[in-house]
A = this chain, B = another copy of it.
Amino acid sequence: MKRSAVRMVDVAALAGVSAGTASKALNNTGQLSQDTRDRVLRAAAHLGFTPDARGRALSSGRTYTVALLTSDSTGRFSIPIMRGVEDVLSAGELATVLCDTRDDPLRERTYLRSLVARGVDGIVVTGRRTDLRPPINVPLPVVYALAASTDPADASVIIDDAGGATAAIKHLLALGRTRIAHITGPADHRSAAERAQAAVTTAGDALCGEPLFGEWSERWGRQATDLVLRQRPDAISCGSDQIARGVCDRLRELGHPVPEDIAVTGFDNWPVMALASRPPLTTVDLGLEDLGRRAATLLLEAIAGKPHHGVLELPIHLITRESTLGP
Contacts and interface: CB of A to CB of B under 8 A. Distances in A.
A114 B95 contact: yes
A290 to B, nearest CB: 16
One complex includes copies of this chain to the number of 2
Interface residues of A, number: 53
A48 interface: yes
Nearest to A113: B50
A73 B113 CA distance: 29
A151 interface: no
A108 to B, nearest CB: 10
A106 interface: yes
Interface stretch (A75-83, A140-148, A160-168, A313-321): A75-83
Interface stretch (A38-46, A172-180, A206-214): A38-46
A307 interface: no
A63 B64 CA distance: 13
Contacts of A219: 276
Given A82-B100, A100-B82, A100-B83, A93 B114 contact: yes
A170 interface: no
Given A45-B109, A75-B79, A97-B98, 11 more contacts: A41-B106, A45-B110, A50-B117, A51-B114, A65-B65, A65-B97, A75-B76, A79-B79, A93-B114, A249-B249, A272-B272
